[in-house]
Amino acid sequence: MPAYVTERQMPMKIECNREHLLSAVQSAGTVVPSRSPKEILKHLKLTVLEGSAVLMATDMDIGIRIEVPEIQVEAPGSVVLPVKEFGSLLRESTDESLKIEVDLQGVIVRGERSEFKLPVVNPEEFPEVPTFEEEQFHELPARLYREMIRRTLFATDTESSRYALGGVLLEFGSDSLIGVGTDGRRLAKMEGTAQAVNGHQPGDAMTIVPTRAMQLMERTLSEADAQVQIAVHPNHILVRSARVTVYTRLVEGRFPKWREVFPTRKEGVTIEIAVGPMLQSLRQAAVVASMESRGIDFTFGDGGLVLSATTAEIGQSRVDLPISYDGKLITVTLDHRYVEEFLRVLDLEKTFSVEIEDSESAALFTTDDGYGYVVMPLAREHK
C-alpha cells in the first residue's frame, strides 16, 4: 500500500502512553470488519488537535470515537493506520510511551530501543464518524445503562428472520428508559430512571439497537463513567459517555408486543429465592442435561425446590434446595440454559422472585430493581 499524506496536512508528531492507546485501539478494533470490499475500513483514524486526540473506526453501520488520554502534542494532524499491524505493534511493545511521527514518507513509531515504519493512506478517504452535537437527548447513569445491556442482550436472537429480534428495543419516557430483548422463547426487560433533556422524545418508529452495537457500548463503558447520553434519530442513534461516542444504524422491522408476553396471573404463586444457592443447584442438576434434552423439572412445594433431569444414555439428577414455600406442588419444565443466563447477570448475594401458576404457563422472574424475565415452559413429554 503506498504511503500517502495530503499536502495540506501538517506533519503529525506526538508522544503517547502506550497502554492507553492500546486500550483504545482494542476497543475500536472490534468495529473494524475482518472482510470488506473497502480497504480503508480495515484501518483506524487518529486525529490529534492541540487539546485532544480521537481514535475512530467504522464499518459503515457502526462507528466509534474514543478520546485517548495522556498524549503530548508537538504537531497536530491526522493519520490512518492498519488496525492489525498497529495493534500488534502496541501489544508487543514493552515501552511505557511511544513517539509517533507522520510525514510524507509514512508513519514512524519509536520506542526506547525500537523503531517501526508503517504505510499510511489519505486521511480524507476515511469515512466520517458522526460526533455527538445533539441538544436533545436522554441522560441516565452509565452504571444503569450498562446493567440494562447486560440484562437484556443475552436474550436477543441474531439468527431470526421473523420480527426484529437481533437487537435490544429501547423505549423512552419523560423520566424513564426501558430495554427489552427476546428470541421468542424468553424475554428480558429492564427499566430505570432516565431524564429527557430539552424534550427529547423519539417518534413512533421503534428504536431497536443491534446486538453488536450494544456489545460495543457495554465494553466501552467504564466504572469511571458517570452519565450516558442517548440521542435517537429515525434511522440511527448516538450514545455518548465521558470518553466514547458510538454511532449505530437501527434494526429495521417490528419488535413483538412485549407487554403482552408478561403473564397476568389469577392463581399464581410468588416465591423468593436466593440467587447464589439457586445457581449452584441448577448447575448441579444440569450435569446430565444434554443439548437434545435441555429441560429440567422445577418442582416447588413442601418447603423446597426439587430440580430434576433425565437424559437417556447419560443419567438422572435430583437436587433439593430449601425455599420458603409450603403451598401446593407445582412442576414446570424449563430450559436450564435460559434460567442460568438470568441468574448469571444478578448479584449472587441478592434474591429474586419467581412467579408460577402451572406446568403450561410461563415462569416470571423478577428483581426489586426493575428487572423482569419471562421463560416459556417446555413440554413434559419425557415424564
Tell me the Ramachandran region of residue 62: left when phi exceeds 0, alpha when psi lies from -120 to 50, beta otherwise: beta
Task: Indicate the pTM of the whole model.
Answer: 0.91
pLDDT of 383 over the 70 cut: no
AA letter at 310: T
The reported pLDDT for the residue numbered 217 is: 96
Asked whether this chain's domains 12-125 and 264-375 adopt the same fold, the reply is yes
pLDDT of 337 over the 60 cut: yes
Q: What is the CATH number of domain 137-258?
A: 3.10.150.10
Q: Which of 101-110, 153-162, 343-352 is most confident? A: 343-352
Report the percentage of the chain scoring pLDDT > 70: 95
d(CA 172, CA 194): 8
Cβ-Cβ contacts under 8 Å for 279 (sequence gap 6 or more)? 340, 343, 344, 348
The reported pLDDT for the residue numbered 33 is: 92
Chain segment 16-44, per-residue pLDDT in tens: 999 999 999 999 999 999 887 889 999 99
Mean pLDDT for all residues in the chain: 91
The reported pLDDT for the residue numbered 1 is: 40
Calculate the CA 144 to chain-centre distance.
13
d(CA 172, CA 155): 20
Report the percentage of the chain scoring pLDDT > 90: 78
- Grid cell 486500550 is found at 23
HSE on the CB side for 243, CA within 13 Å? 20
Domain boundaries, the chain: 12-125, 137-258, 264-375
Q: What is the CATH number of domain 264-375?
A: 3.10.150.10
Alpha-carbon torsion 12, 16, 18, 23, what sign?
A: negative
pLDDT of 54 over the 90 cut: yes
pLDDT of 353 over the 60 cut: yes
Query: Hey, what's the torsion of the CAs at 262, 268, 269, 271, to 10 degrees?
Result: -20
H helix or E strand, kind and range, residue 147: helix 142-153
Asked whether the beta carbons of 281 and 291 are under 8 A apart, the reply is no
The reported pLDDT for the residue numbered 37 is: 81
Q: Return the CATH fold of 12-125.
A: DNA Polymerase III; Chain A, domain 2 (3.10.150)
Query: pLDDT tier at 381 (50, 70, 90 boundaries)?
Result: low
Chain segment 286-321, per-residue pLDDT in tens: 988 766 667 899 999 999 999 998 887 778 899 999
HSE on the CB side for 51, CA within 13 Å? 0
The reported pLDDT for the residue numbered 2 is: 42
Neighbours of 134 (CB within 10 A): 16
Neighbours of 378 (CB within 10 A): 19
AA letter at 275: V
